[in-house]
Amino acid sequence: MAEKKKIGSSKATAGVKKVALLGFGTVGSSVAELMQMRKLPGIELGYVFNRNVAGKLAGKAAQRVPASVEWTEKIEDVLGSDADIIVELMGGIDPAGKWIRRALASGKSVVTANKQLIAYEGASLLRLAAKNGAHLLYGAAVAGGVPVIPGVLQGLSGDSLKRVSGILNGTCNFILSQMETGADYAEVLAEAQRLGYAEADPTADVDGFDARAKLVILTRIALGAEINPDAVAAESIRRIAAIDFSYTREMGCTIRQISRAEIDGAVVRARVAPMVVPRSLAIAGSHGTLNTVVTNGRFGGDVVFSGHGAGGRPTAVAVVSDILAAAQGSGQVALPVRKRQVTGEMVAPHYLRFVVNDKPGIVSGIAGILAKHKINLDSILQRQGYPKERLPFIATVEPCLNTTLKKVVAAIGRMDSMLEAPLCLQILPVEDKDV
């Protein structure tokens, strides 16, 4: 068992920055392990703050922490210490935000993986950091081990990015890419929970709130636009069924939870939703828990980043990279950010799936309602082998305003023969990648 040292008893090494970990869970213990294994110059783990230190010290992960590290259950011990860099891995807005503010106000740099906090309060925290000559780095908050944030901030600041999209939630991607092989939502979710990829309450992941926070952060750094996370529409993947993968496969497509934000004049068009993805797009190749982000710039065109978005060790890579950047005083490029209104309205082609009690006139009924609202049917596909009394079939419609389509689809859903509300998914375009 590791020993609990008295706070303040260790000596600082000259030129070495002391790191304090807030939270010693999966990511925190991986950060400690990585720092210990790599022995990176100029940084040293000094403090670990966690509830129930005795319990943590009895665990296996604590064995990898150097004996010189001071453990504490009192946040004051850390905020009042000689730690140079505070690494916040607890999550949640409160008390994490309050503690980060205190650390920044006292000139300590902060590294965090806290996507909700950075989505809601990132702008004001960054101002506080700048005012106090401290760094605030949050590379682990989006796409874990994939260096999207440093890549965009340091490598694409010269471009004028107009769109950012991608797969930002590994849980949804695991579920949907498993469903590709024919499995049903409920069984794959159960498997994901068994493997530790999904929480007992999967709401934050499957209903899009996790991805939404990440999209808001990306929108700030890539598009220079500050948007209200609550104003971004998030749609659940819960209604996607095995049948949708059969039908989209015939279209040369698959289905993924896509987060997408685009600058359009003074507004940002942003949504998180399951969407139909042509297989020729890089994001269609994102399997399992992989994350993929695609930026599109006026000058440089599409840039793709892909890798492991979650898990202790990939996330720890992002955290330790940020610790090194903070320790070396490598500030991130900062460009002006503007507050922008956000809308979920987009003009796009869509996939519609109906489940009906089959009788004559259904297709003409649907076609009639669509035509009345000037929405053009693109294709109808009905495969054999399903019972007439519970018949699934699909239609695709040409680009139209999604808000209008939603109302029209609701009207279609009120037809007698409809057994459930029709499913309506945006189809991603195969964008021109030339520059």
Query: Catalytic residue positions?
Result: 214
Rg (CA), the chain: 24
Interface with its own copies by CB under 8 A: which range of 153-161, 346-354, 361-369, 379-387? 153-161
Q: Which stretch binds its own copies (CB under 8 A): 181-189, 246-254, 255-263, 310-318?
A: 310-318
* Cα atoms found within 13 Å of the Cα of residue 35, Cβ hemisphere only: 30
Q: Using CA atoms in the order 400, 403, 404, 408, what is the torsion angle rounded to 10 degrees?
A: 110
Should residue 328 be labelled a site residue for its own copies when binding is judged by CB under 8 A? yes
Instruction: With contacts defined by CB under 8 A, name the span among 123-131, 145-153, 201-209, 262-270 that binds its own copies.
Output: 145-153
Burial code (b: 16+ CB inside 10 Å, e: under 16) for 336-372 equals ebeebebbbebebbbbbbbbbeeeeebbebbeebbee
Stretch that binds its own copies, among 62-70, 78-86, 141-149, 338-346 (CB under 8 A): 141-149
Q: Is 113 in the site for its own copies (CB under 8 A)?
A: no
Task: Check residue 136 for interaction with its own copies (CB under 8 A).
Answer: no
Options 46-54, 178-186, 262-270, 329-337: segment touching its own copies (CB under 8 A): 329-337
Q: Under the criterion CB under 8 A, does residue 15 sit at the interface with its own copies?
A: no
Out of 160, 341, 376, 403, which residue is the one contacting its own copies (CB under 8 A)? 160
175 CB neighbour count, 10 Å cutoff: 25
> Which CB sits closer to its own copies, 43 or 119?
43
Residue 231: partners with Cβ closer than 8 Å, 6 or more residues away: 341, 342
Which residue in the set 28, 46, 122, 147 belongs to the binding site for its own copies (CB under 8 A)? 147
Q: Which of residues 169-208 bind its own copies (CB under 8 A)?
A: none
Q: Which of 106, 330, 376, 403 binds its own copies (CB under 8 A)?
A: 330
Cα–Cα distances (Å) from 357 to 72, 114, 288, 312, in that order, read: 64, 48, 35, 48
Among 18, 271, 308, 340, binds its own copies (CB under 8 A): 308
* 413 touches its own copies by CB under 8 A: no
* Interface with its own copies, residue 344, by CB under 8 A: no
Residues pairing with 48 in the sheet: 21, 71
Q: Does 156 bind its own copies (CB under 8 A)?
A: yes
CB of 337 to its own copies, least distance (A): 12
Helix (H) or strand (E) holding 165: strand 161-167
Quick one: 72 or 321, whose CB is closer to its own copies? 321
- Binder among 164, 275, 325, 395 for its own copies (CB under 8 A): 325
Please, which residues have CB within 8 angstroms of residue 44's CB and are 6 or more apart in sequence?
13, 16, 17, 18, 19
Binding residue for its own copies (CB under 8 A) from 5, 313, 365, 367? 313
Question: What would the x/- binding string for its own copies be over residues 42 to 71, using CB under 8 A?
Answer: ------------------------------
CA separation for the pair 274, 18 (Å, rounded): 43
Please give the residues from 374 up to 403 whose contact with its own copies meets the rule CB under 8 A: none
CA distance 359 to 143: 47
324 binds its own copies (CB under 8 A): yes
Decide if residue 236 touches its own copies (CB under 8 A): no
Total number of residues binding its own copies (CB under 8 A)? Answer: 61
Q: Which two tokens stand for residue 210?
A: 């996790």
Longest dimension (CA), the chain: 83
For its own copies, the binding residue among 319, 356, 394, 412 (CB under 8 A) is 319
Q: How far apart are CA 176 and CA 170, in angstroms?
A: 10
Q: Near its own copies by CB under 8 A, which window of 6-14, 16-24, 169-177, 312-320?
A: 312-320
Verify cis geometry, omega within 30 degrees of 0, for the bond prior to 278. Answer: no
To the nearest whole angstrom, how small is the minimum distance from the Cβ of residue 288 to its own copies?
8
Residue 34 binds its own copies (CB under 8 A):
yes
SS3 content of the chain, % helix, strand, coil (to 5): 35, 25, 35
What span, in angstroms and rounded, lies between the C-alpha atoms of 425 and 348?
A: 10
Is residue 152 a contact residue for its own copies (CB under 8 A)? Answer: yes
Question: How many angstroms separate the CA atoms of 103 and 311, rounded?
Answer: 27
| Dist CA 3 CA 193 (whole Å) | 34
Distance, C-alpha 357 to centroid of its chain: 38
Provide the binding-site residues for its own copies, judged by CB under 8 A.
Answer: 30, 34, 37-38, 40-41, 139, 145-160, 282, 285, 290, 297, 299-308, 311, 313-314, 316-325, 328-336, 433, 435
